[in-house]
Structure 1
Amino acid sequence: MKKLWILGIGLIVVVVIIIGYIFTNADGQKQSDVKKHTAHSKLDRNQTPTLFLHGYGGSANSEKFMVNQAKKKGVTKDVMTAVVSQNGEVELKGKLPKDSTNPIVQIELENNQQGDLDENAKWFKNVLIQLQKEYKIKKFNFVGHSMGNLSFAKYMLANGKDQTLPQLNKQVNIAGTFNGVLNINEQVNEISVDADGKPSRMNPPYPDLLQLKDIYKGKHIEVLNIYGDIKDGTHSDGRVSNSSSKSLKYLLGNSPKSYQESKYEGKKAQHSQLHENRKVANKIIKFLWEK
């Protein structure tokens, strides 16, 4: 009898533990669902595509971490790649659904060591035209790394006033080489910028890009300029000086709807590490897609 009583008590304890576990898990799941819903509710959901462009020697892999972070945060499930051949022909790999939300297009240049910025600008235009043809896009966001930013600046210089093309909405520049690259046309700590971003010396093609102020005026474009300082005394990300990246401010002046700079420091702020940096990715997500 005593054994049965002990067994009965044991069964009751087990049942209580199981019920407690179920309710705890359910509560935890609810809290997780609430957190996910709260995070997703902060996102601005639309069909404006965001185009990622890598730098010299890069590829779609250069954009992979940032794109995956956006997917992980629930920004989008719709990602495709636009491969640009050696002669500028565009192949869209993947398909965007008609009801796509915050779609991302990774651009990959097969000739990724193309130094002709005007040619790169034409190739970027080819991608836009192909997207316009297949998906009827009217505007787009841009994220560029390193030389990709200068190629895009050349695109805007040549096509920024063309109303028949999709119009720029938001722009993110990472490690922009707007006024030079270290040990190529600029030495360490050689060039500085003033409070307006005006460089103490202008390297080609910087003087030509001064026309961008006029092109950006009145278009309500928002700009985020990201750069890194590895804190070794060079005031650079190891390859591009902070002054070169920050000189974008003078090129655009007061023409954008908004302009902000975001500086990152340490090992993860190195030139090629910036696009692998979680803090950078989170900043981009907030700027492009949060309400």
Structure 2
Amino acid sequence: MKKMIKMMKNLSIFFLFVASIITFAACSNSNVSKVSKKQGATIVPTLFFHGYGSSTNAEESMAHAAVKAGPPKTIIKALFDNKGDVTLKGVIPSYDKHPIVEVGFDNNRNSNYTEDGQWARNVVLKLQEAYHIKKFNVVGHSMGNMAIIFYMLDNYRDKKLPQLQKQVDIAGHFNGILGVDDKPNEMKLKANGLPIQINPTYEKLTALRHSDAYKGVSVLNIYGDKDDGSHSDGRVSNASSKSLRYLVSNHAKSYREEKIVGKDAQHSRLHENPEVNKLLIDFLWDKK
């Protein structure tokens, strides 16, 4: 009899545990399902991609400055494990048409840019599945820009995906990194923006020049100059950042460059720079 009572208690505990999991899942699903397909079509999230060796902490200053300025009201996170699987943390309410998604890579030193682009696709698909989005914006810092541009290179033909509207690139190293495959004042650009010498990564990206990948996309390219004679932000030469122009400007809806000068234009300080915050807020949400 005692064994029977003990067994019944164990079964009760087990069923309570299962019920709690089902309840939690139902609650989670109900939060997401509050956004209908019609509502989701009006939501345009902005995805922030951090740089090499970094995390969503690097996106906090820009994201919170945007919420303070408006119109974004919500910040959620999209976190990758080291296999590229993504989990959403937080919920986008149906009334917030301009939420921010801070993207975080567990493998934050992955210099396989094609794979980074595939992972960027994963988060876009996740948001499409959860919130039925049709459009989105992006902000990248350093290596985050490579995830974005390789996503575009490999996926622009897929019209079933949500379509990119606006792109902000900060400290992009499209044709090299100082101390790796570039030196201060070594890189020169032709009149059309094409580097005289290009690396293998940039060679792949030149396919964008002859595509319509950026048709309908507005691009803001922000780069830093420490004003120390290196014409760089200390990590990326201005020429490497500006080499983006050749790839996208001939078919983008618009293309604009902005140079930040001084000590706060250093590579890792750019994502904490109030001047950068203002530029991207004005650009993304038409704030004047």
- Provide TM-score, normalisation by structure 2: 0.83
Unaligned runs of 5+ in 1: 1-45
SS of residue in 1 equivalent to 2:268: coil
Percent identity reads: 50
Query: Who is 2:144 aligned against?
Result: 148
Query: Who is 1:79 aligned against?
Result: 75
Query: Who is 2:90 aligned against?
Result: 94
Measure how far apart 1:75 and its partner are.
2.2
SS of residue in 2 equivalent to 1:157: helix
SS of residue in 2 equivalent to 1:205: helix
The number of equivalent residue pairs is: 246
RMSD: 1.2
Q: Is the 8 A contact 1:210 1:252 kept in 2?
A: no
2-side partners of 1:255 and 1:133: how far apart?
29
Query: Who is 2:34 aligned against?
Result: none
Q: 1:216 to 1:278 in 2, by over 3 A?
A: farther
Q: Is the 8 A contact 2:220 2:256 kept in 1?
A: yes
Q: Give runs of aligned pairs for residues 47-66 of structure 1, distance below 5 A.
A: 47-66=43-62
2-side partners of 1:218 and 1:175: how far apart?
20
Query: Who is 1:247 aligned against?
Result: 243
The equivalent position to 1:219 in structure 2, one of 202, 215, 218, is: 215
2-side partners of 1:157 and 1:101: how far apart?
27
- Provide TM-score, normalisation by structure 1: 0.82
* Bigger Cα displacement from structure 2, 218-227 vs 135-144: 218-227
2-side partners of 1:190 and 1:158: how far apart?
30
Q: Is the 8 A contact 1:157 1:209 kept in 2?
A: yes
Query: Who is 1:187 aligned against?
Result: 183
Query: Who is 1:279 aligned against?
Result: 275
SS of residue in 2 equivalent to 1:211: helix
Query: Who is 1:165 aligned against?
Result: 161
2-side partners of 1:216 and 1:110: how far apart?
32
1-side partners of 2:214 and 2:151: how far apart?
18
The amino acid across from 1:157 in the alignment is: L
Q: Is the 8 A contact 2:50 2:56 kept in 1?
A: yes
The equivalent position to 2:263 in structure 1, one of 267, 272, 275, is: 267
1:174 equivalenced with 2:170 (yes/no)? yes
Unaligned runs of 5+ in 2: 1-41
Q: Is the 8 A contact 1:236 1:242 kept in 2?
A: yes
The amino acid across from 2:82 in the alignment is: Q
1:130 equivalenced with 2:150 (yes/no)? no
Query: Who is 1:106 aligned against?
Result: 102
Q: Is the 8 A contact 2:156 2:213 kept in 1?
A: no
Query: Who is 1:16 aligned against?
Result: none
Q: 1:218 to 1:259 in 2, by over 3 A?
A: closer
2-side partners of 1:119 and 1:218: how far apart?
20
